[in-house]
Amino acid sequence: MNKYLLVATFFYISIPIFAQHKPAYVLYNAKGNKVSYKRMINQLSKKDIVMIGEFHNNPISHWMELEITKDCKENRSLVLGAEMFEQDNQSALDLYLQGKLSAKGLDSSARLWKNYPTDYAPLVNFAKENKIVFAATNIPRRYASLVLKGGLEVLDTIPDFAKAWIAALPIAYDSTLPGYKNMMAMMIGHGSVNMPKAQASKDASMAYFILKYFVPGSLFIHYNGSYHSENHEGIVWYLKQTRPELNVATVTTVSQKELKKLLAENKNKADFIICVDEDMTNTY
């Protein structure tokens, strides 16, 4: 009897011990030092704009986006925005937030990503419940596709009404930025040399609409793929070209086999780095 009691006691005590040694993620600062979630929230809450770079199919990325948003709201009024909504879908998104369009109506009116129901609906519904403005910041994909085929100059030829859905023309482009240079290197022999320019059209448009919807005194939280804001490039570069005085912070997601130490290659990618176990299940 005592033997069984001992085994049972060991089993139940072991569960939390093993759980503590098997975290799903660890938070680091840019230098690679571990940082508490509370400290991150305190610092993010003091900024003007926070860029959260996600892995689109990573559940920890999406959960953290929602938790960061909820906890920052305890300290500041918010404005939200996302890459996952293209600017020509702003009207449909607004109607949904105002309760004038159903979830089914939003799905039929806007070009929602396939993982919207599980990964982005919680953010949109949080905005709806709390009457928070949510900006559709991305360039419509058909115009980014035009840039992929013909370069940034092709945007001069689109209808005037469509130009309201993209960054002000002409779009500045610095081909020497490391992110764009790396993309160009990857595309040689495998795709269009305009790929970095198409990326720039997205980055510039997202920055443009972030600033359009930015409200002084409020915290703007933006959700985007990690590559759009890593190393303070992409969207952040465009924000700084127009409003260098704004205090912008970045959060990004990285994946590693071991979480005990942040790899050198992942340091400085953002102000705060969500380091996720590489065995984490993908959502698609």
- The structure tokens 């959700």 sit at 223
Look at residue 13 and tell me if it is in a domain.
no
Q: CATH number, domain at 112?
A: 3.40.50.11550
Q: pTM of the predicted model, to two decimals? A: 0.91
- Rounded to 10 deg, the angle between the 37-44 and 59-73 helix axes is 60
Walking along the chain (284 residues) 10 residues at a time, the average pLDDT comes out as 45 47 92 98 98 97 98 98 98 98 96 97 98 98 97 97 98 95 78 90 98 98 98 98 98 97 98 97 92
Q: How many domains does the chain have?
A: 1
Look at residue 11 and tell me if it is in a domain.
no
Give 74: exposed, middle or buried? Use CB within 10 Å, 0-12, 13-18, 19+.
exposed
Q: Which of 16, 15, 28, 32 is nearest to 276 (CA)?
A: 28
So what's the pLDDT on residue 22?
80
So what's the pLDDT on residue 186?
77
Range of the domain at 122: 24-277
Q: Rounded distance, CA 11 to CA 196, Å?
A: 54
Look at residue 96 and tell me if it is in a domain.
yes
Look at residue 2 and tell me if it is in a domain.
no
Bridge partner residues of 136 (DSSP): 82
Residue type, 92: A
Q: Which of 24, 88, 85, 79 is nearest to 219 (CA)?
A: 79
Look at residue 4 and tell me if it is in a domain.
no
CB-facing half-sphere around the CA of 43: CA atoms within 13 A: 13
Distance of CA 185 to the CA centre of its chain: 24
Residue 32 backbone phi and psi in degrees, to 5:
95, 15
Q: Rounded distance, CA 126 to CA 223, Å?
A: 14
- The structure tokens 């799905």 sit at 107
- The structure tokens 């806007």 sit at 110
226 neighbors 260 (Cβ within 8 angstroms): no
Using DSSP, state whether 58 is helix, strand or coil: coil
Look at residue 5 and tell me if it is in a domain.
no
Q: Rounded distance, CA 146 to CA 154, Å?
A: 7
Q: Which of 44, 109, 80 is nearest to 206 (CA)?
A: 80
So what's the pLDDT on residue 50?
98
Look at residue 125 and tell me if it is in a domain.
yes
So what's the pLDDT on residue 14?
44
Look at residue 19 and tell me if it is in a domain.
no
So what's the pLDDT on residue 10?
41
